[in-house]
């Protein structure tokens, strides 16, 4: 059973998010993200967390997608 990672009106596949996060974390660990973005590991992990939280929360009220 896959549990949604957000409110019922905005269903997000938790397994997909987990797989994406794992892939990006591996890329950060290998230094690939740093070479592509110039972000150090800490900044890259923070950006990943911000991206996931924003994606799970959905668009802020009054924004357009």
State the CB neighbour count (10 A cutoff) for residue 28: 21
Q: Write down the H helix ranges in the chain.
A: 14-30, 32-37, 41-57
Residue 56 — very low, low, confident or very high, per pLDDT cuts 50/70/90? confident
Contact 4, 14 (CB under 8 A): yes
Tens digit of pLDDT for each residue in 6-41?
A: 455 667 889 999 999 999 999 999 999 999 999 999
Residues 7-27: b if buried by 16+ CB within 10 A, e if exposed: eeeeebeeeeeeeeeeebeeb
């Amino acid at each position: 059973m896959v549990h949604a990672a957000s409110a019922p009106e905005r269903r997000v596949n938790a397994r997909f998010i987990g797989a994406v996060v794992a892939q990006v974390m591996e890329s950060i660990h290998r230094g690939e993200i740093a070479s592509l973005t110039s972000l150090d590991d800490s900044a890259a992990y923070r950006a990943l967390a911000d991206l996931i939280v924003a994606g799970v929360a959905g668009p802020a009220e009054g924004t357009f997608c």
